[in-house]
Amino acid sequence: MANERVAIITGGAGGIGQAMARRMIVDGHRLALMDIDGDAAARVAEAINKEAGTNGVLAVGGDVAKPADCEAAVAKVSDVFGQVDVIVNNAGFGASRIRPDGEKNLLTIEELTPEVWGQFFSVNIDGPLQMMRAALPGMRERGWGRVINVTTSFFTMLRNMPYGASKAALEAASAAWAKELDGTGITVNVVVPGGPTDTPFIAPEAEMDPTKMLRPGVMGPPVAWLCSRDADAVTGQRFIGGKWDPELPDAEAAAIAGSPAGWPELAAATVIWPDD
């Protein structure tokens, strides 16, 4: 089986999406950049194709908050490239979408109307579920697949509502889905930058110093490795891009940057657990 795969990167026109795409194209993968801004996705796809001298990057407009768009994206990519092997759930809805300074002056309880709360969860947890559900039948049929979910740091989960809560939900779901799919050839893992990242996702009004932020490129190496056959047995793990040393062999870098997804250490606080 060839190492080259077909991947959909949601939020593909954003800074982290672009960085992951530019790293993955080096390995010969064919990519679809799915973004709610289809025109931006088309510009990024055209730029990467030109840089790499390939026609292997496709733009797909669509909103992951809409299940029909998720199904349509997987169907379109399957029609063009033959199949979908990898889903990178990178699209995100952040506080700056509600208030430009929302990353600095956090959203208050009073601001968290049902509509606002729902926007975060429809993109950050419902979207990944629907993308995975759309691609899962083909992955099961071929006995191979990758689901890579972008969550956030634990600090942000406990501080930034409702963004943190929605990403904590995705983290917990990733651990559960990895167990459900164990043994099928389909892996589920988490990749995070490791802190604030210099992308337009954080608006200038947040007044964060870009020179002190992580570069989006830190996400490329762990995602590329997870898409390789070397990571066939890796599932239910979380990798911090900022801790990944690209100068080391991938297995060594993964050992340093990786840990179990979710919070398995909290199991020690359980008093009673139902029999399996």
Using the predicted structure, report yes or no on whether residue 1 has a pLDDT greater than 50. no
Rounded-to-integer distance, Cα 15 and Cα 94, Å: 14
Question: Cα 49 to chain center, whole Å?
Answer: 22
Determine, yes or no, domain membership for 275: no
> pLDDT category, 54, cuts 50, 70, 90?
very high
Residue range 180-190: average pLDDT? 98
Catalytic residue list contains 267: no
Rounded-to-integer distance, Cα 72 and Cα 60, Å: 9
Parallel, antiparallel, or unpaired for β 145-150 and 186-192? parallel
Residue range 149-159: average pLDDT? 92
Determine, yes or no, domain membership for 122: yes
pLDDT of 86: 98
Residue range 18-29: average pLDDT? 95
pLDDT of 106: 93
Token pair of 174 as six digits: 């990733």
Using the predicted structure, report yes or no on whether residue 273 has a pLDDT greater than 80. no
Parallel, antiparallel, or unpaired for β 258-260 and 237-240? antiparallel
Using the predicted structure, report yes or no on whether residue 206 has a pLDDT greater than 90. no
Determine, yes or no, domain membership for 274: no
Segment 110-144, tens digit of pLDDT: 999 999 999 999 999 999 999 999 999 999 999 99
Amino acid at residue number 32? A
Give the structural domain span for 106: 6-269
Determine, yes or no, domain membership for 260: yes
Using the predicted structure, report yes or no on whether residue 178 has a pLDDT greater than 90. yes
Helices 67-81 and 127-142 cross at an angle (nearest 10°) of: 40
The total number of structural domains that make up the chain? 1
Rounded-to-integer distance, Cα 222 and Cα 218, Å: 8
Average pLDDT over the chain, rounded to whole? 91
More confident residue, 140 or 95: 140
**What value does the CA radius of gyration of the chain take, rounded to a whole number of Å?**
18
> pLDDT category, 200, cuts 50, 70, 90?
low
> What CATH number does the domain containing 164 carry?
3.40.50.720
Determine, yes or no, domain membership for 276: no
Segment 103-117, tens digit of pLDDT: 889 999 999 999 999
Determine, yes or no, domain membership for 219: yes
Residue range 6-14: average pLDDT? 96
Determine, yes or no, domain membership for 214: yes
> pLDDT category, 13, cuts 50, 70, 90?
very high
Using the predicted structure, report yes or no on whether residue 161 has a pLDDT greater than 60. yes
Q: Per the residue annotation, which of 163, 177, 201, 244 is the catalytic one?
A: 163
Cβ count within 10 A of residue 164: 22
Residue range 93-106: average pLDDT? 89
What's the DSSP call for residue 123?
I
Beta bridge partners of 35: 61
pLDDT of 215: 81
Residue carrying structure tokens 């972008």: 150
Determine, yes or no, domain membership for 1: no
Using the predicted structure, report yes or no on whether residue 81 has a pLDDT greater than 90. yes
